[in-house]
Structure 1
Amino acid sequence: MLSIVVPCYNEEESIPLFFKEVEKISGQIKQRVEYIFINDGSKDQTLDVLRALHKENPEKVRYISFSRNFGKEAGLYAGLKEAKGDFITVMDVDLQDPPELLPEMIEMVETSDLDCVGTRRVDREGEPAIRSFFARLFYKLVNRIGETEMVDGARDFRLMTRQMVDAILELSEYNRFSKGIFSWVGFKTEYLPYENRERIAGETSWSFWSLLSYSIDGIVNFSETPLNFASYVGAFSCIGSVIAMLVIIFRTLVKGDPTSGWPSLVCIFLFVGGLQLLCLGIIGKYIGKIFMETKRRPIYIVKETDADQK
């Protein structure tokens, strides 16, 4: 069986189009296909569309509806947890992930020792320039300071074996960053390149600031470098202040008491205070992650599933 995990948030227009396009290529797939749609607290008619789709295809379409919006990461985890297939793929419902690649991805896994076939965009055509710039900067930064390599342009769209998905599900952490988790668990992976595609319908729920916050979470979850940076800043500030005091003492002994300048002192105070706040913010980010983990809250809460309709 092939399980297709599809997180949805306000995607009432995209769902029927997505289902239709994937069904077109389902004849090229010898495995039986199941769809697992996750309604991530949508505010439109997404849930009604999923109910209707399940009613029309009860043996093929399954859905899970959250009690509120828990985020895409929770949706991915819920879908992977519910998937029963021997092969599992994750796809965006907006058709930015080409369904026609699925037969090739399945063949690559079946005819080799690969555990996963991922996809990556070779360009970012149609994407705002500032978003593309920061996306590339993120991958360069996280690969330089982190221990887990992340492929630039890699999508969540990938085909995984049952063994790899079971390994991912063992990581039940609350603060999730799937791209990093997919890489961290290991397993042999190859990537299929493809040209960027625009959404088929609807509007993206990812703003620049939400993507920036998501990127920061990715760095914090898979690197201790920011903490090391805070320590280095503190150490250099301390050493610099000692050197400055020695210079002032030496100059006072040689040339006498210099004229004091309060503007320079204010600038120094503000600079040091800013460094302290920066370091506290970095440490606080990690402490906040620890705090959320220790609460042991569920990653998501299910309000309704296809089982409720049987």
Structure 2
Amino acid sequence: MENNIKLSVVIPCFNEEKNIARALRRTDEYLLNKNISGEIIVVDDGSDDRTAEAAEALTPELKHSLRVIGLGGNYGKGAAVRRGVMEASGDYILFTDADFSTDISEMDIFLGECERNHDIIIASRSLAGSVLDPPQSFFRRAIGTICRNMVSLLAVKGYKDTQCGFKLFRRKAAKEIFSHLKTDGFAFDVEVLVLAGKLGFSVKEL
């Protein structure tokens, strides 16, 4: 059967009750305004709050399909993203953090780049012109810089920021990479890029 979903948006969540409604409304609004056929997949990684209930409560309001998947425990962000990606059916698959520190409007550029030239587009908080909303604290920026430098030294070279939670994939790339992914925790982003290189997928950092 022919797939008619262009974009799947995967949102991994752990205790995101305060953020998830805004994220869902913003995603739904973007898809509607851009006339993009899409689906939204929320993966609840064993939240202690009412993240799943808050997401499900938005179902009647949204114009696009919403699925809320519970992992039944706290397995890690990598596990949550992997489950969402493997459930997704869009031609393109985006995973994004629920706090929307990178707004979904960046998809205007990301989708064009992915359609024309690359298998994977990743956001960077380090490249010139990058804007975070809300801005990160000094402590969080410092920790992020240390982590990125360690990653560059130890695992993958050539990227300014491996950890930004906003990455877009062509479906083939997403399915192949995440079917091999072993890392369940926050370091999964690094393994994603390592696997992309090993499997021959092109990556662009914006």
TM-score bracket, normalised by the shorter chain, equals 0.7 to 0.9
Q: CA RMSD in A?
A: 2.4
Note if contact 1:18-1:93 (Cα within 8 Å) is conserved in structure 2: yes
User: SS of 2:57's equivalent?
Assistant: helix
Aligned partner of 2:203 in structure 1 is: 189
Note if contact 1:142-1:150 (Cα within 8 Å) is conserved in structure 2: no
Once the two structures are superposed, residues 183-215 of structure 1 have per-residue CA deviations (whole angstroms, 9 ceiling, x without a partner) of: 1122212222xxxxxxxxxxxxxxxxxxxxxxx
Note if contact 2:181-2:192 (Cα within 8 Å) is conserved in structure 1: no
- How many corresponding residue pairs? 190
TM-score (norm 2): 0.81
Question: Which of 39, 44, 47 is the equivalent residue of 2:49?
Answer: 44
Gaps of 5+ in 2: 1-5
Matched, 1:6 2:14: no
Give aligned-pair identity as a percent.
24
Question: Which of 148, 157, 166 is the equivalent residue of 1:157?
Answer: 166
User: Greater CA radius of gyration, 1 or 2?
Assistant: 1
Q: Equivalent residues in 2 for 1:98-177 (5 A)? A: 98-110=103-115, 112-122=116-126, 126-146=135-155, 148-149=156-157, 151-154=159-162, 155-173=164-182, 175=184, 177=187
User: SS of 2:101's equivalent?
Assistant: coil
Note if contact 1:117-1:159 (Cα within 8 Å) is conserved in structure 2: yes
Note if contact 1:150-1:180 (Cα within 8 Å) is conserved in structure 2: no
TM-score (norm 1): 0.55
For 1:135, the aligned partner's letter is G
Report which of the two has the higher share of helix.
Answer: 1
Gaps of 5+ in 1: 193-310
Note if contact 1:150-1:183 (Cα within 8 Å) is conserved in structure 2: no
Once the two structures are superposed, residues 85-127 of structure 1 have per-residue CA deviations (whole angstroms, 9 ceiling, x without a partner) of: 11000011112121111122112222x2211111111378953
For 2:153, the aligned partner's letter is R
Instruction: Quote how far apart the aligned CAs of 1:48 are.
Output: 1.4
Once the two structures are superposed, residues 229-279 of structure 1 have per-residue CA deviations (whole angstroms, 9 ceiling, x without a partner) of: xxxxxxxxxxxxxxxxxxxxxxxxxxxxxxxxxxxxxxxxxxxxxxxxxxx
For 2:172, the aligned partner's letter is Q
Q: Equivalent residues in 2 for 1:279-290 (5 A)? A: none
- What is the rounded CA distance, in whole Å, between the counterparts of 1:19 and 1:72 in structure 2? 18
For 1:151, the aligned partner's letter is Y
- What is the rounded CA distance, in whole Å, between the counterparts of 2:158 and 2:45 in structure 1? 26
- What is the rounded CA distance, in whole Å, between the counterparts of 1:150 and 1:182 in structure 2? 14
